[in-house]
Structures are given as structure tokens and as C-alpha cells.
A and B are shown apart, each in its own frame.
Chain A
Amino acid sequence: MLKSTSARAALSSLALGLCAALASVGPAFAQAAAAPVPNKGDTAWLLVSSLLVLMMSIPGLALFYGGLVRSKNMLSVLTQVMAIVSLAGLLWAFYGYSIALGDTGGHYLGGFGKIFLAGVTPASVSATFSNGVVVPEYAYMVFQMTFAMITPALIVGAYAERIKFSAVLLFTFLWLTIVYFPIAHWVWATPAPDDLAAAAKALAAAADEAARKAAQGKIDELIAAAGWINQGRGVGEFLMNGVGALDFAGGTVVHVNAGIAGLVGAVMLGKRIGYQREALTPHSLTLTMVGTALLWVGWFGFNAGSNLEANGATALAFVNTMLATCAAAFSWLVSEWAIKGKPSLLGMASGAVAGLVAVTPASGYAGPMGSIVLGLIVSPVCLMFVSKVKNALGYDDALDVFGIHCVGGVVGAIATGVLVSPALGGVGVTDYTNIAGANAGTYAMGQQLISQITAVVATLVWSGVASAIIFKLVDIVVGLRVSRDEEREGLDLAEHGERAYSY
């Protein structure tokens, strides 16, 4: 049984891996190993990473966004982010964990076996990327919870300064349920390496046709319970050819997903009063800088923590996250200096976030120099979107959720398919059934790129369409926007009855 799913590396070329395993693995491997127990260091790291990701949302993202709105809307943004975080944590424990990652299901959704955290105990464990390494399921569950918290909070930036608070809550509930939990399952639900390895060993050791059939059946069963994007199966089969898309820490699940929902929200809510006529300038770039720094620090929990255990691969994800962000912050600064004439703090902060977004899917797969190239590229692309494309199309994505998270996420997701290449300093892909070959998978850049693009398009379509329907529904039920007078007065007083600053 697939107890819980966590390893996210692609299982490319399963058949090839099996052939290799068959050819070279002797009967000695067939002995059952003792059940692995969690390592204290891994457990501590995963719990600390969970704290870091929580810190990204509150206060990191809240301050980053809060500083960018006008002072009359400061508290509304802080309140929205914190409320979303709290709501998402509850939903994750009630059923999100079970249907996204906790319980076995099919290619498109997990099961309901772990609703209300049924069966999760201090003794239950979750798999990691390594054979024979597990972490406590509680630690894994709460780590993944923090991702479900920040993703809907990212969307706040698109509808800020004009949405009703009740609409935020209803949207978040529906969006997590219909969009986030399924997509997390599609991309991240993967067979536990130990289960696959055991099945591969059994297949290699099978003495007769019946044993072989049983072992192959076990592998098929494991694959059938994994997410379709993760394995390149199901509806993506004809395009992905069994090559799973790579998304180490959530480039598609978190950033492309939230980014496109933000664009849909910005369009459906309409522009803020005075957009492009009045000065809707940030009220405190100081707080935005504080928020950016908290996001940057917290992102090490997001990316390096996504390795689940603490080892060399974790350190690689850490270094990649650091370097891509440095490169992207600097590259936005220089691009803006060249184009607009002045190097701005907001530009550098935007660049840092764009770099963090772009390296998210690549952090565990690329090499350090590849990450730097990624960081240098992503900033000018995002800068073009937030300064040119947005104005040309006329939508009011207030704080550039689409321009930075979606665009940066797409750049990162596609680049991951290239930067994972061992020839470019990447780590290559993993095939856990290839026991003899140290789990090495077969990597072909063309097919990997197709898989990456499929994952991006699937996320854009599902999240885009479902978000539009959800926003429409919310508009009908509670209404999306506050009244003109309330918007003029500011959401802090109109919606929350308090003000951020007393002068």
C-alpha cells in the first residue's frame, strides 16, 4: 500500500529501469529489509522548514503585499493573508491532506482514508526521495500544510484593495478544494521509493511467471495511485510518454497555479477606482523590503525543505535558491536601471521574488551555475510583463501576482526540464526501480520539456477555468467587490473597522 506519497522525482523510463534491474540484480537483493525509522536530524529539519514556510506567509508575504498597497488598505491585506493561512490549515487537516497527498487514490485525486487525519500517528511515517529514509508523517503533513497555506495567500496581491472579505474566505475555501488539492496530487503524489524498489527487487527475483506477474502488478498499482503529471500517465499519456514532469518545490502547483488564478481574479473583479488615473503608490516600501527579506529566508524552508530529509541534495537546493535569487535581484536592478533610468528597491525586491519563484521547481534538480542563469533570465521577462504587457492589456493585477508568480513560475518550470540535464550541471532524473544503476533514470531533454510544458498548460487550464467559475460563484453568493464609497474610504475602516496607522 502506498502509505503516503512524498518523493517527487520523476520515474522516467520505467520499462528501461526494469530491464536493467532484471539484468543485473541477483537474488540477494530480494531479502526484506527492516522497516526504516525516522532520523532525528531529518525530523528536526522538516519541522524547522515548516516554520520557515509559515514565516513566508505571515508575516513575510503579508508585509510584502501590505507595503505595496495604500495605507488605507494595509490592514485588509494583513487580515486577508492571516485569515487564508488559518483557514487553509484547517481544511488541510480536515480533508486536504487526505485527498492531495495522504491517502492512496487514482491519477487525479487521492482517497478519503485520512480525512480528519485519521490514521496519522506519532509512529506513522512518510517516504522521502531516498530508499530507506522516512520522516514522521506528522512532520510531512504539517510541512505540506504550509504550502497549502501560502498558495491561496499569494492570490491576495491580484484582488487587493477592492475585494470583500467574505468573498476572500469563500473563494479560498472553494479554490483550495477544487484547484489546489487536486493539482498538488497530480504533481506530487508519487510512489514511495521503498515500495517501488521492493517491487522491482521482487520482479527481478521472481522465479516463475506468477511471481513476476504479482510483482509487476504491484508496480502497476503503485503507478496507478500516483498523480498523472507526476508519472506522465492518464490524460497526459500521449504527450508525456510516461515521463513525469519535474517540480521540486512547487513551481507549477504553487506559483503558476496562484498566478493564473490571480489574473482571472484581477480581470473578473475589474480595476480599482482610479487605476491609471490616480497615483496608487505603495505606502511603505520599507515594509515591502522587510517582507521580501522574510520571504527570501523562509524560501529555504520551502525549497531546501522540500527534499524532506537533510542531506547533500538539501544543501544543493539551498545553494540553488540562494544563487538564483541573487542573480534575479541583481538582474532586475540592472534591467530597470537600463530601461527606466533608476535602480529601485522595489525593482530589486521584485527581482528577488521572481528569482525565488523561478528556482522553486528547479532547486533540487539544477546545478548552481544553471540556477544563476535562470535567475538572470527570469527578471527581465517578468519586468516586461509587469511594465509593458499589463499596461497593454489593461487588467489591474494590483500587486503583480500574474506578472511575477505565474510568469516566473512558467519560466522556472520549463527551464527545470533543461537545467536538470547532467550535461548542464543538473542532477539528472531518478528511476527508483533501477536499483543496480543507483536509481539513475534516462533523461532526454526534448521529452522532458514536453512533459514540463504539459504540466504548465494543465495547471493554467484547470486553475484558470476553475478559478473563473469559482469567482463567478462567489460573486453570485456574496458579491466580489465592496461598494465605491467603501473602496474610496479604504477597506481597513470599511471592512474591518480599524486603521493601520494613527497620526
Chain B
Amino acid sequence: MKIVMAIIKPFKLDDVRDALTGVGVHGLTVTEVKGYGRQKGHTEIYRGAEYAVSFLPKVKIELAVADELVGRVVETIEQVARTGQIGDGKIFVSPLEKVVRIRTGESGEDAL
């Protein structure tokens, strides 16, 4: 099992969710986050006073997937979240030791 964590542009969230459902993902967790990468920040001007905003709003999605699904999940996110512009985000994949479904007590891939 792997945990896939991706930082994407907020307005791509719905597309990514739909596409992941299409490849067999049954659930994911979303967090609104701020950060910076190569996109850096932007400038806001209020009555002539300029402020550099260095942390941009992004969405973090996290999902646990079975090993055989990881390749397609990553590929799907990569394709759907891409605009080609700087600031599209990143995908991180890391191993997952254990999963437990609280309601039933199932564990491992059965709990996914």
C-alpha cells in the first residue's frame, strides 16, 4: 500500500476527484493549505500600498491506495491537474504500513 499526497491548484480539485473516481479510488482527504515553490508569490495593491504575498493557496489531497493502483492514480492526477503553468503542484508517494477501518476493525488492503 502507498499513500499518495498531492499539492494541486484549488480550482483543479473537482476534476481530479472525478478522474480518480473513474480509476477506482473510493475516498480521499482534502486540506486547504498555503505554501510556495517555484511560483513564488504575487503582489497585492491596496490603495497604492503594495504587499508581497509569498504563500499561495493550494489544495492538498491525500489518499491511500493499493500497490497495483498507485501508477494509475499518480498518472491521473498528473494529467488532470496539469495546466502547463508554473505552480501546478507536486505529487508525493510514500509507503504505508497499516490501514484500519474503524467501524469494522478490518485492516490492510481490505480497509482501503
Residue B105 interfacial (CB < 8 Å): no
- A346, B51: Cβ atoms under 8 Å? no
Which parts of A329-352 form the interface with B (CB within 8 Å)? 336, 340, 342, 344, 346-347, 350
In the complex, B45 has a CB within 8 A of chain A? yes
Q: Which residues does B use to contact A, with CB under 8 Å?
A: 44-49, 51-53
The CA-CA distance from A383 to B48 in the complex, in Å, is 8
Cβ–Cβ < 8 Å partners of B45 in chain A: 340, 342, 344
Nearest residue (CB) in A for B45 is A340
Are A387 and B48 closer than 8 Å at their CB atoms? yes
A388 contacts the other chain (Cβ, under 8 Å)?
yes
CB distance from A66 to the nearest CB of B (A): 15
Is residue A400 contacting chain B, with contact meaning CB distance below 8 A?
yes
Closest to B51 in A: A279
Closest 6 CB pairs of A and B: A387-B48, A279-B51, A386-B47, A340-B45, A346-B46, A386-B48
* A interface residues, Cβ below 8 angstroms from B: 279, 281-282, 336, 340, 342, 344, 346-347, 350, 383, 386-388, 391, 400
- A contact residues around B49 at 8 Å (CB): 387, 391
Within the complex, the shortest CB–CB distance from B42 to chain A, in Å, comes to: 11
Whether B44 lies near A281 (C-beta < 8 A) is yes
**Docked CA distance A261–B49 (Å):** 22
* Inter-chain contact total with CB atoms closer than 8 Å: 29
CB < 8 Å: which of A281, A383, A388, A391 contacts B46? A281
Distance, CA A342 to CA B44, complexed state (A): 10
Which A residues lie within 8 Å of B52 (CB)? 279
Q: A282-B46, A346-B46 are in contact. List 19 more A-B contacts (CB 8 A).
A: A279-B44, A279-B51, A279-B52, A281-B44, A281-B46, A281-B51, A340-B48, A344-B46, A346-B47, A347-B47, A383-B48, A386-B47, A386-B48, A387-B47, A387-B48, A388-B48, A391-B48, A391-B49, A400-B47
From residue A162, how far is it (CB to closest CB) to chain B in Å? Answer: 17
Which of B46, B47, B49, B52: most chain A CB closer than 10 A? B47
Q: How far is the CB of A336 from chain B (nearest CB, A)?
A: 8
Determine how close the nearest CB of chain B comes to the CB of A282; give it in whole angstroms.
6
- The CB with the most chain B CB atoms within 10 A, among A279, A342, A391, is that of A279
- Of the candidates A279, A340, A400, which one forms a contact with B53 in the assembled complex, judged by CB atoms under 8 Å apart? A279
Q: Which residues of B contact A386 (CB under 8 A)?
A: 47-48
Question: What would 8 A/B residue contacts be, using CB atoms closer than 8 Å?
Answer: A281-B51, A282-B46, A336-B48, A342-B45, A344-B45, A346-B46, A347-B47, A350-B47
Q: Determine how close the nearest CB of chain A comes to the CB of B43; give it in whole angstroms.
A: 10
Q: How far is the CA of A162 from the CA of B71 in the complex (A)?
A: 55
Kindly state the separation between the CA atoms of A350 and B44 in the bound complex, as whole angstroms: 16
Nearest CB of chain B from residue A259's CB, rounded to whole Å? 15
Question: Which chain B residues border A383 with CB–CB below 8 Å?
Answer: 47-48
Query: Which residues of A are found within 8 Å of B48, using beta-carbon distances?
Result: 336, 340, 383, 386-388, 391
Residue of A with least CB distance to B53: A279
Bound: A346/B47 CA distance, A: 7
A386 to B45, CA, bound (A): 12
Question: Please, which residue of chain B has its CB at the minimum distance from the CB of A387?
Answer: B48
Q: How far is the CB of B41 from chain A (nearest CB, A)?
A: 11
Q: A347 — nearest CB in chain B belongs to which residue?
A: B47
Complex CA–CA separation, A400 to B49 (angstroms): 11
Instruction: Give the Cβ gap from B12 to chain A, nearest Cβ, in Å.
Output: 25
Chain B residues, CB < 8 A from A282: 46
A344 to B47, CA, bound (A): 9
Q: How far is the CA of A350 from the CA of B46 in the complex (A)?
A: 10
Instruction: Report the separation of the CA atoms of residues A301 and B46 in the bound assembly, to the nearest whole angstrom.
Output: 29
Bound state CA distance, A350 and B45, in angstroms?
13
Least distance between A64 CB and chain B CB atoms (Å)? 13
